[in-house]
A and B are shown apart, each in its own frame.
Chain A
C-alpha cells in the first residue's frame, strides 16, 4: 500500500499543475504579507490596524495571529488545496491510469487509503512550508512579537486537523462521484463560508423552536460568548469550527473543534473506503 502512496507522490511531483498551484500559493502568501504590512505596520498611516483590533487585540502581533492571518483565514489556501486535492484524487481516473493498478489488491479500499495518505502527505508538506514561510515573513514585521508558542502550537495542530478533514471531504466527494466538479464546489463552499450563513439561520431556528434566549442566540451568532449554554448546530459543522476557531479559545472549544475535525475525517474516509468496495471503477 505504501508503494501506491509513493506512486501518487511520484505522479504529483511530475505534474505541472502541482508547481503552478505551489507558485500561486506562495504568491498569495506574499500578497497576504503585503496586506499584513499595511495593517500592522501602517506605512500609509491610514489606521487599518484599528479595524483588526478584534482579531489580534492591538499592539504587537503574535505567531498565532499571523498563523490565522496567513493560513487559517486565507481563502486562497483552502481553494488552492482543494484544486490540488481534486486533481490528485481525480486525475488517475480521468486519464485512465488507475486501471493499470487495480489488480494490485483484491480490496479496493486499500487504494483509497493509499491515495488519501498521499493527499495528507501533500497537505502536510504544504502546511509546514506555509508555516515556515509565514513565520519567516512575520519576522519581517516590526510589530511581530514571537511569544505564546504553546498557544501557537495548539492552534497549529487544530488548524492542521481541520484542513486535513476538509480535504478528506473533498476527497470523498471527488472519489465517489468520479467528477472534479463536486469536490471543487465543496472546497469553494468551505472556503467562502457560504454554509456558515445557513448554519447560523438553522441555529436561530432551533433556538426559536426550543424557546432559548434569542438575545444569547444572536450574540452567539455574532461570535460573542454570553455564557448562556445554547445548542448550536454550527458548533458541529466543520466549516464553521474551522473558520471560527481561535487558538485563544478555551479547552472545551478546542477539544470540540478537534473532535469535530476527527469525526468528519473518519466518516468521510470510512465512507469512501466502504463504498469503493461496492462501486465500479470508471476509467
Chain B
C-alpha cells in the first residue's frame, strides 16, 4: 500500500487554546483510519483542516495521488461528512445531490440515483430532507460525500445520535465503501468498540496531541495479554516454568511476565505451591483497545 494522505506537524490554535498540536498522521491507500479521542480532543478540527474548512496555524497536509497528481488535483477527490450532514432541508435528497454534482461537474443523473440506492435512500422520492430521520440524513450525508467519486472520505462521528440499527447500517456502508469502491476512509469517533469493528489503523489523539499511531496488528501486539506474577523464589519458579514447557516469559525486576498460556494462572500457582514456592501476587494483564487508550491518555474511562 502507498500513502494517500499525510499531515506534517499540523497545528491549529484558537486564541491561546491549541486544538491540534503538531499532529503528523499517515494514511495509506485503501485503509480505514480510525481517529480516536474524546470529545474536544481535536478530531473534528483536524478533519476540518483536511477538508479545507479550517486554516492550519502551522504545518501542512499533503494529499498524494497514485499517479503523481498534485494537491490541487487531489483535493476534489476528497469526500466530506463532518459533524451533521450539510443539506438544504427544503430540497429532496436527489436535489441536494444534484446541487453538489453541479459544483463538481458531475453530469450523470443516473449516478446520483444509484448513489441514493447505494446508501439505501432510493425509495425517498421527492420527500423534503426536513422530513428525514436522523439515520436517513446521515446516509444522505454519506451519499453527498460520494457525489464527487472521492478517493478519500472524511467521516466525522458518523454514528453520533444513531440508534443501534442506524449504527449497524452505517457500519455496513463503510464496509461496502472499502470493499466495493476501494475508498480510503478517515473515520473519527469516540465510540471505540464501533471504531474497532471497521478500522485497520488508528490515530489516538488527546488534547490535540497525537499520542500513538498504529495498525490493528501493531495494536494487537501492544495490547497482548500477559500473566503477571511475583513469587517467593524466582529461581525455582524459572525451573518450574521450564518443566511446564513455558518459554515465552520475562523476569522483569521482581516479577514474571508470561506471554503464553496466560489463562493457566491457576495451574501455575498450584504447581508452584507444590514446590513450596509462594505466589505473592498474580494477575492477568491484557488490554482492549479501550484499555490501551486509557493507558495512553491517562484518563478515566469516560470517552
Contact = CB atoms under 8 A, between A and B. Distances in A.
Interface of A: 3-4, 6-7, 10-11, 14-16, 91, 95-106, 108, 277-281, 283
A104 B99 contact: no
B75 interface: yes
B84 A102 contact: no
A278 B55 CA distance: 7
B75 A106 contact: yes
Given A96-B84, A97-B86, A10 B98 contact: yes
Nearest to A99: B86
Interface in B40-70: 48, 51-55
Contacts of B37: none
Contact of B71 (A98, A101, A106, A281): A106
A91 B99 CA distance: 13
Interface stretch (B100-108, B197-205, B235-243): B100-108
Contacts of B83: 96
A16 B91 CA distance: 10
Contacts of B105: 3
B80 interface: yes
B119 to A, nearest CB: 15
B279 interface: no
Contacts of B102: 3, 6-7, 10
A104 B104 contact: yes
Given A7-B102, A7-B103, A283-B53, A100 B84 contact: no
Which of A15, A108, A283 counts the most chain B CB atoms within 10 A? Answer: A283
Contacts of A91: 88
A103 B54 CA distance: 11
B53 A101 contact: no
A281 B87 contact: no
B82 interface: yes
Contact of A96 (B54, B55, B76, B87): B87
A16 B90 contact: yes
A112 to B, nearest CB: 13
Q: Most chain-B CB neighbours within 10 Å: which of A97, A105, A278?
A: A97
B99 A11 contact: yes
Query: Which bucket holds chain B's interface residue count?
Result: 35 or more
B90 A100 contact: no
A100 B89 contact: no
A99 B103 contact: no
Contacts of A98: 86
A108 B55 CA distance: 10
The 7 A-B pairs of least Cβ separation, nearest first, read A96-B86, A7-B103, A103-B78, A281-B53, A7-B102, A97-B86, A280-B54
B273 to A, nearest CB: 64
Contact of B89 (A7, A95, A105, A281): A95
Contact of A95 (B72, B75, B88, B104): B88
Nearest to A91: B88
B225 interface: no
Contacts of A105: 52, 72, 75
A95 B53 contact: no
Contact of B104 (A3, A14, A96): A3
B278 interface: no
A103 B52 contact: yes
Contacts of A101: 100, 103-104
A103 B86 contact: no
Contact of A283 (B86, B88, B96): B86
Given A11-B99, A15-B90, A102-B53, 11 more contacts: A96-B84, A96-B85, A97-B96, A99-B51, A100-B147, A103-B78, A103-B80, A104-B75, A104-B103, A106-B72, A283-B86
Contacts of A16: 90
A104 B144 contact: no
27 contacts: A3-B105, A4-B103, A10-B99, A11-B88, A14-B88, A14-B90, A14-B95, A14-B99, A91-B88, A96-B84, A96-B86, A97-B86, A97-B88, A97-B96, A97-B99, A97-B100, A99-B82, A100-B80, A100-B86, A100-B147, A102-B51, A102-B52, A103-B51, A105-B75, A106-B52, A281-B54, A283-B53
Interface in B220-255: none
Nearest to A282: B53
Nearest to A98: B86
Nearest to A6: B102
B293 to A, nearest CB: 28
A108 B54 CA distance: 11
A108 B52 contact: yes
A103 B103 contact: no
B93 interface: no
A6 B144 CA distance: 17
A96 B83 CA distance: 10
B115 interface: no
Nearest to B79: A103
Contacts of A99: 51, 53, 80, 82, 86
